[in-house]
């Protein structure tokens, strides 16, 4: 019989400590530099990071900010969304995608997702636009989400947006580093928001985010909005803004992390492929569109409802952590129930909430640990 002391060590779901080891003393040094410079806000690292982020994404401008949520909100503020405007959001996403819409007085309208990629369903978007018009709302913005790291189907979504005069705000909080038709996210819609929350593929050591755009005027307005709507200098306020800057310490950390990000993306891809090969016969493994490259923010299996919960329980008992993103679709959340939906039911989003389960996924998952996870999954599913 095994005793607690002989039980294998619990596996972290995302191992930020392993990444810190990989980065070595360099991160500590650059943080110390900021502390010694005392330029905690708007230090030179912020501008340097913005240049490197724009180059990485292939966009003309990158505007850093305080979080992924604020990145989304700043864009809606810059586009002057107002009451009566409709913003189309997937029903299967993290709440922040839709949360910012009521902030500017506009109405989120929930759209169903596709059963294979879990990303926004173009047919449901068409229905949602018609529904908004029927309700007397003005369709203004669509927010496709690059869920779990995989870019949404932009070949289908962009023409629909264009036909209806919608701006496209890409939420790549989970997808930064991924590509669609070999273009990095950040270079696809009218504007893109990302997050540097520590658990995202590119994370900092606190909260942070960024906006990407090719629109010079938009970039200018965003920079003003993140500094209280400042005009020629900080003593002139030309619009209602907020405090939404990325601080210098986080920019310094991100510069170090961005330098190894490509290497980490390759590792994530390798690990995802290993999972696919080992689990395709026991569960529905992630489907990646042939035009997309996922950055694997999550590695998510789909199982029949019921089997999923049993698997989570069995793995937990073996020290293998799992997560369920998401347990409820947005339109069933108490705070969002009153907002319109593309149709009476959004069946795919609703079903997925009972079927999905995410396994440990990060760039430093070694083969022995991954094999332990794979064996536990196969055992739990009776294979």
Question: Which of 117, 119, 174, 294 contacts ligand PLP by CB under 6 A?
Answer: 174
CA distance 113 to 25: 43
Restricted to residues 85-124, the positions that interact with ligand PLP (CB under 6 A) are: 93-94, 96-97
How many Å from the N-terminal Cα to the C-terminal Cα in the chain? Answer: 23
Task: Give whole-number Cα distances, 13 to 239, 240, 299, 337, in Å.
Answer: 43, 40, 11, 31
Under rule CB under 6 A, how many of the chain's residues touch ligand PLP?
15
Nearest to 347 by CA among 323, 334, 331: 331
CA distance 277 to 281: 8
Question: Which of 85, 171, 227, 264 contacts ligand PLP by CB under 6 A?
Answer: 171
Restricted to residues 217-256, the positions that interact with ligand PLP (CB under 6 A) are: none
SS3 per residue for 83-142: CCEEEEEECCCCCHHHHHHHHCCCEEEEECECCCCCCECHHHHHHHHHHHHHCCCEEEEE
| 139, 133 Cβ separation under 8 angstroms | yes
Assess 144 for contact with ligand PLP (CB under 6 A).
no
Draw the binding track, 182-221, toward ligand PLP (x: CB under 6 A; -: no contact).
Answer: -------------x-x---------x-x------------
Question: Which of 43, 68, 177, 189 contacts ligand PLP by CB under 6 A?
Answer: 68
Assess 59 for contact with ligand PLP (CB under 6 A).
no
With 0-12 / 13-18 / 19 or more C-beta atoms within 10 angstroms meaning exposed / middle / buried, residue 314 is middle
Residue nearer to ligand PLP on the CB measure, 250 or 370: 250
Assess 145 for contact with ligand PLP (CB under 6 A).
yes
Query: Residue 151 CB, nearest distance to ligand PLP (Å)?
Result: 12
| 177, 261 Cβ separation under 8 angstroms | yes
Query: Residue 164 CB, nearest distance to ligand PLP (Å)?
Result: 23
Question: Which of 87, 125, 173, 244 contacts ligand PLP by CB under 6 A?
Answer: 173
With 0-12 / 13-18 / 19 or more C-beta atoms within 10 angstroms meaning exposed / middle / buried, residue 340 is middle
Residue nearer to ligand PLP on the CB measure, 275 or 326: 326
**Rg, the chain, Cα only:** 21
Question: Which of 59, 67, 250, 322 contacts ligand PLP by CB under 6 A?
Answer: 67
Query: Residue 93 CB, nearest distance to ligand PLP (Å)?
Result: 5
Draw the binding track, 258-277, toward ligand PLP (x: CB under 6 A; -: no contact).
Answer: --------------------
Query: Residue 226 CB, nearest distance to ligand PLP (Å)?
Result: 14
* Closest residue to ligand PLP using C-beta atoms: 68
Residues that bind ligand PLP in the complex, under the rule CB under 6 A: 67-69, 93-94, 96-97, 145, 171, 173-174, 195, 197, 207, 209
């Amino acid at each position: 019989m095994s005793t607690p002391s002989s039980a294998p060590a619990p596996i972290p779901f995302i191992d930020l400590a392993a990444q810190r080891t990989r980065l070595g003393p360099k991160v500590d040094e650059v943080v110390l530099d900021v502390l010694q410079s005392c330029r905690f806000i708007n230090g030179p690292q912020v501008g340097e990071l913005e240049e490197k982020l724009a180059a990485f994404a292939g966009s003309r401008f990158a505007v850093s900010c305080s979080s992924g949520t604020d990145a989304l909100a700043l864009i809606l503020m810059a586009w002057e969304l107002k009451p009566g405007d409709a913003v189309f959001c997937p029903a299967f996403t993290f709440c922040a995608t839709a949360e910012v819409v009521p902030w500017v007085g506009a109405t989120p309208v929930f759209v169903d997702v596709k059963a294979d990629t879990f990303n926004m369903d173009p047919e449901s978007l068409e229905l949602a636009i018609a529904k908004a018009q029927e309700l007397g709302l003005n369709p203004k913005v669509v927010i496709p989400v690059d869920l779990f790291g995989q870019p949404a189907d932009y070949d289908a979504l962009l023409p629909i947006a264009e036909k209806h005069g919608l701006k496209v705000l890409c939420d790549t909080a989970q997808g930064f580093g991924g590509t669609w038709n070999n273009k990095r996210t950040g270079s696809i819609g009218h504007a893109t928001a990302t997050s540097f929350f520590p658990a995202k593929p590119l994370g900092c050591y606190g909260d942070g985010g960024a906006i990407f755009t090719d629109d010079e005027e938009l970039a200018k307005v965003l920079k003003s909005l993140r500094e209280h709507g400042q005009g020629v200098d900080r003593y002139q306020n030309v619009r209602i803004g907020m405090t939404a800057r990325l601080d210098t310490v986080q920019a310094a950390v991100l510069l170090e992390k961005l330098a190894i990000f490509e290497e980490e993306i390759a590792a994530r891809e390798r690990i995802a492929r290993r999972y696919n090969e080992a689990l395709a016969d026991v569960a529905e493994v992630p489907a990646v569109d042939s035009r997309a490259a996922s950055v694997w923010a999550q590695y998510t299996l789909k199982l029949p409802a019921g089997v999923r919960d049993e698997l989570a329980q069995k793995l937990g008992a073996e020290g293998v952590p799992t997560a369920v993103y998401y347990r409820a679709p947005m339109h069933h959340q108490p705070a969002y129930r009153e907002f319109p939906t593309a149709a009476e039911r959004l069946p795919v989003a609703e079903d997925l909430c009972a079927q999905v389960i995410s396994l440990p996924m990060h760039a430093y998952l070694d083969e022995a640990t991954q094999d332990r996870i794979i064996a536990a999954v196969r055992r739990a599913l009776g294979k």
